[in-house]
Structure 1
């Protein structure tokens, strides 16, 4: 069979599997698999894990296991041994999802896959259940595997609790592979085949400022009484300059992204920036997103507007997320952030800083046989050359894989292009992205061994 005929056959098989892919995704989206028992019953994650195990067993993986990890979540591991002398490919995904946030902001039911304007809507439809379906469809299209395949589906990725990271370190032989495909990223834009080369690391802290033994009447005491919320606002304002650049001494903030650029007009549209509102930072969009640090205030504990009293707040708290680019050490970034918060807290207020977690940035190696085969597969599937990008998010597991399997090539890809609105209300996926990415993965699995 010629290469063209093989490609045409795979393309036809993937296309024929798309109705099943939609049914698969509808079932997966129906599981409210948020890995936080304070919000959703843990049974929902159990149901999702069992569904994944059963689906990949039916797709031809022969050794199936459900493994409890250190954080209490379940990792699904399914594998099929490589033929003699052939390499093994590890396929990664996660079945847990973010909570739906404000369900009233959804235009469709978050736990019911709904087709609208050619896209499929639902929580997890892209991140990362769409990538589960991508892996599944690729395997179904290629029943005679010329390589070994191991599938690992994580159950607590969105909570960042590190269960799978510790599991990999404790069980290195179970997931050992020559190439690792991280199905938790996506294309620069729909229809543009893209490999992600870099990930930012992160430092998460909670900062608490206290000034008084308790709230005080704002008329009787306001003025000289130190306002904890005002102190917190002053501290948070110091983390960015007037242009919006993150400014923390000891965390470099002037790096330049050397690769593909992200047009500001496209970013305006992708991020749904309100008309007339300026983008922040002095660099290009690619610089700010992939090469420089970014401090985000994730949440604030303060008196709510409804029900608030005429009182000077005595305590205020904020949760901060600092994203750091490759080349920045997370421990150093944490020390720099603590020093900055201490130095900018006014009035000698009491400040407490709690470290919630940190992860190192990641940069993938390029040029190896797996990368060459995957770039060719992506280009063939989409009919245009593949490109590369950075990603502003963090996947700490990539560094664990790199340390545990130093000879393995790690590639990041998936169905999560910008219009998917992952982590936000109205998450969706373009079914053409599932189809093209499944075909690319099938082509890669078919050609990598050669």
Structure 2
């Protein structure tokens, strides 16, 4: 059978399987598996069990496991065959809903409007789960790969127990290829593989200049104010055009294959007319390959509670996105040194890293990458693109570090209008169908083994 005929036959099977797959997705979205909220711990367990049942019904041997009191994950394995081993990853936990009244329809009542399915987790990442379900349902007894499953239950809280789970179940998760179905496509109709992600430093900086607050009229002008010192130190993080000005945070850049049209970016991000865009170079390079620093909180009193006082201490919390190629420890040291050097009046500067996640550069030269690219091309009928992601997914580094011999492929079920983590999160159902077909084609084409490295 020719490649085209085989693709058409598998697409027809997918059409038959899709109603049951979408019903499973509705079932999963209806479960409020919010891992960040202790009140939903039972729902996270219910979500894990429902996920395990869905795969078990396809003949996959599954178990629900947790380590160190962490949220439950689903592990699974297919019947052994002679082909390569592929680990399929997704996560079944979801973000909190935010203001429920702001949703057009209730967040845990999956609702179809036009081509989209709305609901918390509909895209991020319960769609990833059903992509894996669809692939296994379509291939059935013709599955020529050894499939392993890892459906995590705490990705939305930075996977705190995943490192230990990967160690304890290393043999069960060992694979030649890892498919992480948890990213975003470049556009509806344009499939993507994510090959790089920025890392993150969640950093607190505190400046101290006094041992107690003072009256601003009695002492202002001759005594330093920690609030003003903090503002000046934070301003030093950026140069005149808004690019990050901290030595040691930049890495040699690789020009992205695609560029973001400025007017589209402004519209997508809601940039007000007349407001400029910070930074230099291609917009996709700024988003994927350059550092960014965002002030996400301060200890300064709100305007309504302001007092006429000089502050003894002031703290800011920073979200620092670290580009691929920059070491996290070196980045934290560079930030501390820069802030200390740029805090006026000899202020005492203290920094604390609250959380961190490594940047990742997966590359595009592995044989499995070429197979996946071909599968995406045939599923979408358009040319796929390699993209970066400005956000951070710490588990990608964990998987790459724990399974160093495996090729990690980060595939997509989301699109730019998905609004993951936001109000009215949704999934484009046409893109879901194409993502399912692409994974079917990947597993089918890997059945005879990986092609030789170039």
Question: Match for residue 115 of structure 2?
Answer: 118
Residue matched to 1:92? 89
- Relative distance call for 1:3 and 1:233 in structure 2 (3 A) is same
- Tell me the equivalent position of 1:175: 173
Query: What is the deviation of 1:430?
Result: 0.8
Equivalent position to 1:387, from 385, 388, 401: 385
Of residues 133, 147, 152, the one that matches 2:130 is 133
Shift of the 217–268 alpha-carbon distance from structure 1 to 2, 3 Å rule, reads same
1:33: which partner in 2? 33
Q: Which residue of 1 aligns with 2:239?
A: 241
Q: Unpaired runs of 5+ in structure 1? A: none
Contact 1:207 1:318 in 2 (8 A): yes
String of CA shifts for 1:41-60, please: whole Å, max 9, x gaps. 32222121112111111133
User: Structure 1 residues 85-94 or 12-21, which shifts more?
Assistant: 12-21
Distance 1:18 1:305 in 2: 54
Taking structure 1 as reference, are residues 370 and 253 closer, same or farther at Cα in structure 2, changes over 3 Å only? closer
Aligned to 1:152: 150
Q: Encode CA deviations 1:322-381: one digit per residue, 9 max, x unaligned.
A: 112221111111110111222222333343311123232222243433222211111111
Structure 1 residues 252 and 29: alpha-carbon distance in aligned structure 2, compared to 1, 3 A threshold: same
Q: Equivalent residue for 2:452?
A: none
Partner of 2:330: 332
Report how far residue 285 of structure 1 moved: 0.7
Q: Secondary structure at the match of 2:278?
A: coil
Match of 1:280 in 2: 278
In 2: Cα distance, 1:224 partner to 1:117 partner: 64
> Take 2:369 and 2:340, find their aligned partners in 1: how far apart are those partners?
45
Report SS of the residue matched to 2:271. Answer: coil
Conservation of the 8 A alpha-carbon contact between 2:35 and 2:94: yes
- CA distance 1:161–1:92, shift in 2 (3 Å): closer
Deviations 1:257-297 (A, max 9, x none): 24222222332233233333322211111110111111122
284-293 or 267-276, larger mean C-alpha shift:
267-276
The answer to whether the 8 Å contact 2:120/2:425 transfers is yes
TM-score, L = length of structure 2: 0.90
Check 1:302–1:252 CA distance in 2 against 1; reply closer, same or farther (3 A cut): same
Alpha-carbon contact 1:205-1:356 (below 8 Å) kept: yes
- Aligned position for 1:53: 52
- Stretches of structure 2 lacking an aligned partner (at least 5 in a row): 449-454
Q: Matches of 1:198 and 1:406 in 2, distance apart?
A: 16
Closer/same/farther in 2, CA of residues 330 and 191 from structure 1, 3 Å limit: same
Cα shift at 1:135: 1.6
Q: Distance in 2 between matches of 1:320 and 1:115?
A: 38
1:109 corresponds to 2:103 = no
* 1:229 matched residue in structure 2: 227
Measured after TM superposition, the shift of residue 199 of structure 1 is 1.4
Give 1:309 shift: 4.4
Partner Cα separation in structure 1 for residue 214 and residue 17 of structure 2: 65
Alpha-carbon RMSD across the aligned residues, in angstroms, is: 2.4
Taking structure 1 as reference, are residues 220 and 424 closer, same or farther at Cα in structure 2, changes over 3 Å only?
farther
Query: Following the alignment from structure 1 to structure 2, what is the Cα–Cα distance between the partners of residues 224 and 107?
Result: 55
How far the C-alpha of 1:214 sits from its partner, in A, is 4.9
Which residue does 1:439 correspond to in 2? 437
Q: Deviations over 1:115-143 (max 9, x none)?
A: 23432222222221221122222222221
In the alignment, is the contact (CA less than 8 A) between 1:257 and 1:290 conserved in 2? no
Equivalent residue in structure 1 for 2:250, among 228, 249, 252: 252
* TM-fit CA distance, 1:399: 2.6
When residues 2 and 245 of structure 1 are mapped into structure 2, their CA distance, relative to the original with a 3 A threshold, is same
Partner of 1:14: 14
1:104, distance to aligned residue in structure 2 (A): 4.7
304, 315, 318: which one aligns with 2:316? 318
Match in the other structure for 1:42: 41
C-alpha separation in 2, matches of 1:222 and 1:128: 53
* SS of corresponding position for 1:167: helix
In 2, are the aligned partners of 1:71 and 1:161 still within 8 Å (CA)?
A: no
Aligned residue-pair number? 447
For 1:238 and 1:44, the matched residues in 2 are separated by 45
SS in 2 for 1:420: coil
Contact 1:201-1:394 within 8 A present in 2 as well: yes
CA contact (8 A) 2:196 2:363 kept: no
Normalised by the length of structure 1, the TM-score is 0.91
Distance in 2 separating the partners of 1:324 and 1:379: 31
- 1:396-431 deviation line (CA, Å, top 9, x unaligned): 322333233222111111212221122222322111
- Greater shift, 194-203 or 342-351, is seen at 342-351
Shift in alpha-carbon separation, 1:425–1:372, aligned structure 2, 3 A:
same
Give the aligned partner of residue 425 of structure 1: 423
